[in-house]
Amino acid sequence: MREILYLNILKKNIGWFDDRDNGPSVLTSVLSADAAAINGVGGESIGPTAESVFGMVAGVGVAFYFCWQQAVVCLLVSPVMVIGPTIDMQMMKAEDEGNEEDLKEANLLCGDCIVNFKTVQSFGHEDRLVQKYKELLMPVHKKNMTRGFKTGAAFGVSQMSQYIVFAAMFFFGGLIIKNSVDEETGIPTVNPEDVFIALFAIMFGANAAGNAASFGPDMGKAEAAATKIFKIIEMPSTINAVEMDDHKAPKRVTA
């Protein structure tokens, strides 16, 4: 995908690059970040998906083998453990993506200054451009402060939900052991060790599944990246800078 995109960029006519949206900083970002986002929904997504599925299946299997009562209880509350880390990681991803979009104008200004550094230096506008760069960064700074509070709240909720689930698992595990006590002998028919093995098997399996799922592909980001890339690829060029017709090919002059 990156090779096809780069080849189509080389084919564009020189006037296409005069548009600010087709500046060097924007195109390099598309080549690096957007192409990687599309690649993430392909082969790279198999690993996290397989890890998430096998982690949960292995945890459930071990739990049902040792204590099916505790396994049923853990299955009822385990979705909270999966959802908590996933929401936390998605909030962090959203923060990074928002920063990239908000910094677009600042990056364009910075890229123009670097490309045309001789012009900037000759007119002596360094201080003015630095001030303009600061003005473009101030809204991003304010948004980041708001996003920081939201990300912190999401992290706190995800951690709180996990500890609530842990407490519920241990509480119901104690009830299972208590209710399985034989009235005649006073010995529980359910081995406490099996209860804890089942509890920790599903607990760690659900936690691993949630962490693996959070590192999975972001379909929304990949869709936006694909739209941007194919818009560049399918954009017709008035002059093809790479391919030339046979009758227009330059002829070698021989003496």
- pLDDT for res 20: 72
34's enclosing H/E stretch is none
What the block records as the tokens of 148 is: 């920081």
Instruction: Tell the CATH superfamily of the 67-214 domain.
Output: ABC transporter type 1, transmembrane domain (1.20.1560.10)
Q: Please, are residues 39 and 130 in contact by the beta-carbon 8 Å criterion?
A: no
CB-CB contact of 186 with 48 (8 Å): no
Length of the chain: 255
- Both tokens assigned to 25: 């900083």
List the chain domain ranges.
1-42+217-242, 67-214
Write down the pLDDT at residue 250. 53
Backbone torsions φ then ψ of 67, nearest 5 degrees? -155, 100
Q: Name the token pair of 5.
A: 């995109």
What pLDDT, on the 0 to 100 scale, is given for residue 28?
80
Give ∠ CA 231-236-237 in degrees, rounded to 5: 125
Note the pLDDT of residue 225: 75
Per-residue pLDDT of the chain in tens (255 residues, 90 and over written 9): 778 888 888 888 888 877 777 777 778 877 777 777 777 666 666 676 777 778 778 888 888 888 888 888 877 877 776 676 667 666 666 655 556 666 777 777 777 787 777 887 788 878 888 888 888 888 888 887 887 787 788 778 777 877 888 888 888 888 888 888 777 777 778 888 888 888 888 777 777 766 666 555 566 677 777 787 888 888 877 776 666 555 555 555 555
CA angle, corner 220, sides to 216 and 223, nearest 5? Answer: 110
* pLDDT given for residue 214 in this prediction: 59
Is the CB of residue 166 less than 8 Å from the CB of residue 82?
A: no
The span from the CA of 176 to the CA of 70, in Å, is 7
Would you say 125 and 162 are in contact if contact means Cβ atoms under 8 Å apart? no
